[in-house]
Amino acid sequence: MKDKKRLPTDGGPIKWVSPFASLKQTELSPTSPARSVADQGVPELVVHKKNRGRVDIIRQTAHRGGKTVTVVTGFVGIGQAEKALLAKRMQKVCGSGGTVKEGRIEIQGDQRESVARILIEAGFRPVFAGG
């Protein structure tokens, strides 16, 4: 069994060493280069022409157990890989889950305004359709 290190309760001095004491001894220069966010390899969306077509943003609740889902449909001339990148960015900005199914992007929750803003930045013309 491992011996337990107990602190004395008799009122004597406590022998305690800070776990950060060894960090004070190392000489780190305050001018060491810090890693930026750009160095971490986060994929960025490629800026395309400003008019990439109309996409519909729909809020659905039917057949989803009462949960609200934002669905983006109507992509023309866009590949599955770029849809996946758009979906990933939407999930990150909205702070929710999502997926790409059957050529459309589904984001959990009512996130229509955030999704529209991302689509405008990507060069699409979002239209709020349906419910």
pLDDT for 48 equals 53
How far is the C-alpha of 98 from the C-alpha of 108, rounded, in Å? 6
Instruction: Give the CATH number of domain 54-61+68-128.
Output: 3.30.780.10
The stretches in the chain having pLDDT less than 50 are 42
The CA distance from 81 to 87, in Å, is 10
Compute the distance between CA of residue 121 and CA of residue 48 in angstroms, rounded to an integer.
Answer: 9
Alpha-carbon gap, residue 85 to 93, rounded angstroms:
12
Question: Secondary structure of the chain: what % helix, strand, coil (to 5)?
Answer: 25, 20, 55
Ranges of each domain in the chain? 54-61+68-128
Nearest CA-CA partner of 75 in 130, 110, 124, 118: 124
Query: Which residue shows structure tokens 């406590």?
Result: 14
pLDDT at residue 83 in the model:
94
Residue 96 is predicted with a pLDDT of 95
Q: What is the pLDDT of residue 32?
A: 61
pLDDT tens-digit series, residues 6-27? 766 777 776 667 777 777 666 6
In which order are the strands placed within the sheet that holds 98-101? 98-101, 104-108, 69-73, 54-60, 125-128
pLDDT at 131: 60
